[in-house]
Amino acid sequence: MKKTDAEIAKTNYTLTARIFHWSFVILFAYGIFKQIENINQLEDLALLKFEITFALLFILFLVARFVYMTRTQKSSLPPDTPGAQKVLAKAVHYGMYIGMISIAFSGLVIGSLYWLGLKSGIFIETLIGWHEVSVSIVYWLVGIHLIGAIYHWFKNDGVWQSMIPKLNRGK
């Protein structure tokens, strides 16, 4: 069942929600772009402090976004969406939150331990492994999220338009 334009307008996310979403896309992309390649790069104290600050701000922004979205926004999935699809959408969204918190938190712990002098060993290697696995999982979840967004763009059911009202397919 296709939504009418009036129904689509009612389910659009707020401007604040869209700003949170797209700002976070930019922030996450920046985090990927500026990532360090080797833990020894943290010998540069300015870089180490920046990484710790970035991780703290990333977590703060992510928590603020999560609280705002869960308290003020409703899903734009149509009521007739199959239950399995609703569960998958929710799992992907919550998985991205958990994965991104895991990336930032593990990076914060790695940076803090490095600052305290723990620069190698099984514990730090385990944390690095956790960090890398978290990154890989988030990449997969973001990919699934993008596939879902494109699916809804083709389906033209109002989900795409709720977050990107200017790039809709029309009727």
Residue 58, token pair as written in the block: 């990333």
DSSP 12: P
pLDDT at 9: 41
Average pLDDT over residues 87-96: 96
CA distance 138 to 99: 6
CA distance 66 to 62: 6
Residues 11/3, Cβ–Cβ less than 8 Å: yes
- Exposed/middle/buried for residue 25 (C-beta within 10 Å: 0-12, 13-18, 19+): exposed
Residue 28, token pair as written in the block: 């996450």
CA distance 27 to 24: 5
Residue 100, token pair as written in the block: 């991104």
12 or 139, which is more confident?
139
Task: Give the chain's end-to-end CA distance (angstroms, integer).
Answer: 13
Q: Report pLDDT digits (tens) over 132-162.
A: 999 999 999 999 999 999 999 999 888 888 8
CA distance 38 to 145: 29
What are the backbone angles phi and psi of residue 70, rounded to the nearest 5°?
Answer: -75, -25
Phi-psi region of 117 (alpha: psi -120 to 50; beta: other; left: phi over 0): left
Q: Domain locations in the chain?
A: 5-167
pTM (two decimals): 0.86
pLDDT at 156: 86
Instruction: Examine the pLDDT at 41 and tell me if it is beyond 80.
Output: yes
119 pLDDT band (50/70/90 cuts)? very high
Instruction: Examine the pLDDT at 10 and tell me if it is beyond 50.
Output: no
